[in-house]
A and B are shown apart, each in its own frame.
Chain A
Amino acid sequence: MRQRHRERVLGFLRTIQKPDRPFDTVAETDSLVESGLIDSLALLEIVAFLEEHYRIDFAAIGLEPEQLTSVSGILDLIERESR
Chain B
Amino acid sequence: MSLAAGFGRTARRLGQLHEDPAVVARWQAWTGPLLSRLTPPRRRALLALGALYVVVRRPLKEMAPAVDVRAPAGPLAGALVVLLCLVVVAAVYLAARHFASLPAPVRGRPQLWLHGGFWAIVVLGWLVPDRGGVVALTLSGLVLALAFLLWRMGYLLLSGQRGRMAGTRFSDHLLYLYPAYGGSGVPYGKGLDHLARHEAASEEALARSQLAGLKLLALAAIYHGLLALMAGLVYAEPRGPWSVHGLGVPRVEALLPAGARAPWAAAWSALYAGLVWDVLKMAARGHEIVGVLRLFGFNVFRNTYKPLLAPSVVEFWNRYYYYFKEMLVDFFFFPTYVRRFRRRPALRMLAATLAAAGLGNLYYHIVFNDTFLLTLDLAGLRPWLEARSFYCLLLSLGIYVSMRREQGRRGVAATAPVSISTRIRRITGVWTFFALISIWADASAATFGQRVEFFVSLFGFR
Contact = CB atoms under 8 A, between A and B. Distances in A.
Given A17-B410, A42-B410, A48-B345, A59 B415 contact: no
Given A41-B403, A45-B407, A19 B414 contact: yes
Contact of A66 (B197, B314, B403, B412): B197
Nearest to A45: B407
A4 B197 CA distance: 29
A3 B338 CA distance: 27
B24 interface: no
Nearest to B402: A41
B293 to A, nearest CB: 17
Interface residues of A, number: 24
Interface string B310-339: 000011001000000000011000110111
A26 interface: no
Interface centre among B161, B318, B337, B339 (most CB of A within 10 A): B337
A5 B417 CA distance: 32
Contacts of A62: 161-162
Contacts of B337: 44, 47, 63
Given A44-B349, A48-B345, A62-B162, A16 B334 contact: no
Contacts of A36: none
A18 interface: yes
A66 B191 CA distance: 13
Interface residues of B, number: 29
Contacts of B339: 59
Contacts of A38: 410
Contact of A63 (B193, B315, B334, B406): B334
Contacts of A54: none
Contact of A19 (B193, B342, B403, B410): B410
A67 to B, nearest CB: 10
Contacts, number: 54
Contact of A39 (B330, B406, B411): B406
Contacts of A48: 345
A63 B338 contact: yes
Interface in A1-44: 14-20, 38-42, 44
Contacts of B416: 19
A74 to B, nearest CB: 16
Contacts of B412: 14-15, 17, 19
B338 A47 contact: yes
Nearest to B340: A59
Interface string B330-372: 1000110111001001000100100000000000000000000
B313 to A, nearest CB: 12
Contacts of A14: 411-412
B411 A16 contact: yes
Contacts of B338: 47, 58-59, 63
Nearest to A56: B338
A48 B344 CA distance: 11
Interface centre among B315, B338, B407 (most CB of A within 10 A): B338
A19 B345 contact: no
A48 to B, nearest CB: 7
Contacts of A15: 410-412
B201 to A, nearest CB: 15
B334 A40 contact: no
Interface of B: 161-162, 193, 197, 314-315, 318, 329-330, 334-335, 337-339, 342, 345, 349, 352, 403, 406-407, 409-412, 414-417
Interface of A: 14-20, 38-42, 44-45, 47-48, 51, 58-59, 62-66
Given A15-B410, A42-B410, 4 more contacts: A16-B410, A17-B411, A17-B412, A41-B314
30 contacts: A14-B411, A14-B412, A15-B410, A16-B410, A16-B411, A18-B410, A19-B412, A19-B414, A19-B416, A20-B415, A39-B315, A39-B406, A39-B410, A40-B318, A41-B406, A41-B407, A42-B410, A44-B349, A47-B337, A58-B338, A59-B339, A62-B161, A63-B334, A63-B337, A63-B338, A64-B162, A65-B329, A65-B330, A66-B193, A66-B197
